[in-house]
């Protein structure tokens, strides 16, 4: 059997277009909504724990009429290795975009596209692909913020 339909859930390592990036933003928004429910109604800080797993914290950093800024991170015992992702959620367009991450060694906020290492499209794609896969992994482990309010 020949399969001609592309698997859009996998998201290739490199974007083919700006439209692909917008599609990724939409998928991340959907995953976040499934993960935590109504983003506009989230408490300031929530922690999801699972038996034998590392706790995950979701913090609301800023609320505006059309956007919410979130921070998603693991809470490791050593307190140093944390893949902090700052996520901007756009309620009207139903999109979620990783706007920065924190460096685990220096604690410095990093926006890769400011470092001129790659194109803006590729850098944003990498950060948002990481969020997509991380949310998928957290869901697989059983993490959720729906029941932690």
Q: H or E segment at 68?
A: strand 67-74
Residue 133 belongs to some domain of the structure: yes
pLDDT tens per residue across span 11-29: 666 667 788 889 999 999 9
Instruction: Give me the sign of the Cα torsion angle 130, 131, 132, 137.
Output: positive
Residue 68 belongs to some domain of the structure: yes
Residue 9 belongs to some domain of the structure: no
Residue 144 belongs to some domain of the structure: no
Indicate whether 8 pLDDT > 50.
no
Residue 73 belongs to some domain of the structure: yes
Indicate whether 111 pLDDT > 80.
no
Residue 66 belongs to some domain of the structure: yes
Residue 13 belongs to some domain of the structure: no
Least confident of 6-15, 48-57, 89-98: 6-15
Residue 104 belongs to some domain of the structure: yes
| Exposure on the CB side of residue 133, measured as CA atoms within 13 A | 11
What is the tally of structural domains in the chain?
1
Read off the pLDDT band of 121 (50, 70, 90).
confident
C-alpha–C-alpha distance, residues 101 and 41, integer Å: 24
140: exposed, middle or buried (C-beta count within 10 Å: 0-12, 13-18, 19+)? exposed
Q: Which domain, by its residues, includes 111?
A: 18-139
What per-residue confidence (pLDDT) applies to 109? 56
């Amino acid at each position: 059997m020949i399969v001609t339909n592309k698997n859009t859930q996998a998201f290739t390592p490199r974007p083919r277009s700006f439209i692909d990036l917008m599609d990724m933003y939409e998928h991340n928004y959907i995953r976040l909504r499934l993960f935590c429910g109504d983003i506009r109604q989230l408490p300031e800080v929530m922690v999801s724990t699972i038996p034998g797993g590392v706790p995950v914290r979701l913090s609301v950093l800023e609320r505006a009429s059309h956007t919410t800024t979130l921070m998603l991170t693991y809470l490791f015992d050593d307190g140093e290795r944390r893949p902090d992702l700052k996520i901007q959620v756009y309620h009207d367009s139903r999109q979620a975009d990783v706007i920065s991450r924190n460096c685990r060694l220096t604690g410095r906020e990093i926006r890769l596209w400011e470092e001129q290492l790659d194109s803006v499209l590729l850098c944003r794609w990498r950060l948002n692909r990481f969020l997509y896969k991380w949310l998928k992994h957290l869901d697989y482990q059983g993490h959720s913020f729906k029941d932690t309010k």
